[in-house]
Amino acid sequence: MDSLKVLPCDDGCPVRLTAELVGHKWTTLIVRELISGKKRYSELQRGIPGISPRILAERLKQLEQHQLLKKTIFPTIPPTTEYELTSLGQEMKQLIYAMAAFGQSVQAAGIEVAA
């Protein structure tokens, strides 16, 4: 499929949609953490240095609402939660790989990005 008809973008545009889903600052990093398997809140926090608890919780909530990840709460004391990608969330892997590939091309080209 090489047609540009893949991109009927304007509103309801799948590209826009994707940008809205994963365009927030830490979202891709969270997804990346989960690609290797389910993780707990604190594991994610440790795995993503610099993220604040508020943002982490916010992104996780959004991803859950969009059914890109599944949250499991174990009513233990202290509480335990687990996050894992849904099958739809797994499809983001391809997207993240594409982003990684393009980013590497840019790096290889030696482009300065620091605004």
Partner DNA sequence: CAGGATCCACAATGATACTG
Partner DNA sequence: CAGTATCATTGTGGATCCTG
Query: Which DSSP string do the residues of 2-52 spell out, in sequence order?
Result: --GGG---SSS-HHHHHHHHH-STTHHHHHHHHHTS-B-HHHHHHHSTT--
User: Which two three-digit tokens encode residue 60?
Assistant: 């996780």
Q: Does 92 bind DNA (CB under 7 A)?
A: no
Q: Does 51 bind DNA (CB under 7 A)?
A: yes
Contact positions vs DNA (CB under 7 A): 24-26, 40-43, 45, 50-55, 57-58, 60-61, 71, 73, 78-81
Q: What residue ranges bind a second copy (CB under 8 A)? A: 4, 6-7, 9-10, 12-23, 25, 28-29, 32, 35-36, 49, 66-67, 88, 91-92, 94-107, 109, 111, 113
